[in-house]
Structure 1
């Protein structure tokens, strides 16, 4: 939904779109923020119905992620008056949002931790707590002090790095505990996979993505993320099969051009081919009688993928032109695009 579409949509349509995003657990904070700004301009985030209060809170969270301080403070002030007596923890959570957008991350973390300790079912506070921990920058610790250093403790220069590392570990721990309770949170599993991948824990990331695939079996982008992670981990045979599956599920009958996830998956499948043609892989495929890994099948799929990719890029005036793809395919996919 573009900004122009949002401006031309009715209030009922915009509120319905926000409701759908809440039900589907889709973040899309930039679109939520654009929608919220339009509704605020129309005076439709002042409460009234439950749907409007829910929408106001949803927009407040998006405003935190978008850094819109004024909108956050305006909405939280209204929401606080509405929730303070009936749902004090919810009001405290909203004040945590204000602390976040002001840059007081330690204060926000403390606020959310108090909420979770008082009420383990406080999902919004738990999610923000996880997000704050996982958003700590990943950095490398400085070299340890040399032997004979007068200081046996961690040097002051290393403290920020150590704190970031501890926040990452705490965030993963809290997220795993959350998913044990709320298994069906697709966004949670995707966040966990990303957190593991950032730490180069690809086996754990792949395990998290396996749960995401179970929850969204028809989403090609989730399947694509699973395939790419399998490739990065080194399980090329699994990646090959999953890339092909993405191409299949993303291409409707009659389509003559690769689009979206299918195009990216085809690129990934081409990268797998040189590594699947090694003598060890060919021998293992013959032993396991795996049809998709048989040399003849690999050759057949190689030609098909090349044709699909060349057709797709010849019809696209994108950043990567057909000439680049032709050179990549002609020179061997293992060389990679240049």
Structure 2
């Protein structure tokens, strides 16, 4: 591959926020050995950061260290370089050393959001869940609009089967991104896991409504398939005995639950009517009929 082709591919990865670490590393080496970042102008520094992260991912810490040194020479007092140094330390140093490094950076600059998030990720990997939750709550008190932070908090609570707390965190994410169907889907699936089937059904239907531009006769794709599956899982239980499913959120069961169940059945089966899904259609059909 030529130098220009490698540069174009790497630029495309940055534009699309793609982190294909192995390919990034291979193409980055071509650039590093053929031209060097200084010949690329301002784009060279973004390239070095990209290559450094990919190098850490694939275990080439020597290349990562080389990239970091060049970035540090250019930006000796940079919070962004501090974060990159921390990422490399996570791969080479003890967790206690890394946490001490992050603590010192936060003492100097408590508003460094990236350092907060790196520190929380280290705590979570160490299994210090309570401390991770404590720090994440403190972080979100300052950076309330960080949707990823709320999703991380919800994920931590869900991993501990604390679904009520997870739903509370997801509620904040919904307020911040009311146009994102994936957040609603996560809320619906968490509500289902918590046992609040009426609430889960309501939110699965919201996801479907958010994709209302989809042709009614078209085969459901992507997130719509997952939402229809969730709807079917809910209606299958509610049709049998809606009275036995207590909603902690006091969400009422839809009066037309049988019609929703029939529609969900049709939509799920339609999703498996294409060439790629036809082999699984019989299995899905048998499950639908309880066989």
**TMscore range, shorter length:** 0.7 to 0.9
Q: Between the two structures, name the one with larger relative contact order (CA 8 Å, sep ≥ 6).
A: 2
1:80 is matched with which residue?
72
> Is 2:171 the partner of 1:210?
yes
Local SS of the residue matching 2:20: helix
Aligned residues: 283
Of the candidates 99, 109, 114, which is equivalent to residue 124 of structure 1? 114
Of the candidates 30, 33, 37, which is equivalent to residue 41 of structure 1? 30
2:243 is matched with which residue?
280
Gaps of 5+ in 2: none
Residue 281 (structure 1) shift: 6.0
For 1:328 and 1:283, how far apart are their aligned partners in 2?
25
| Segment of structure 1 superposing worse, 71-80 or 111-120 | 71-80
Local SS of the residue matching 1:126: helix
Residue 305 (structure 1) shift: 1.0
Gaps of 5+ in 1: 22-27, 137-163, 333-338
For 1:45 and 1:186, how far apart are their aligned partners in 2?
37
Of the candidates 270, 273, 276, which is equivalent to residue 314 of structure 1? 273
1:24-44 residue CA offsets vs partner (Å, 9 max, x unmatched): xxxx6x436644642442247
- Contact 1:15/1:52 (CA < 8 Å) preserved in 2? no
Residue 225 (structure 1) shift: 0.7
Structure 1 length-normalised TM: 0.72
> Is 2:24 the partner of 1:18?
no
Of the candidates 232, 246, 255, which is equivalent to residue 270 of structure 1? 232
For 2:8 and 2:101, how far apart are their aligned partners in 1?
34
Change beyond 3 A, Cα 1:122–1:289? closer
Q: How does 1:213-224 map to 2 (within 5 A)?
A: 213-224=174-185
Residue 309 (structure 1) shift: 0.9
1:232 is matched with which residue?
193
For 2:245 and 2:131, how far apart are their aligned partners in 1?
43
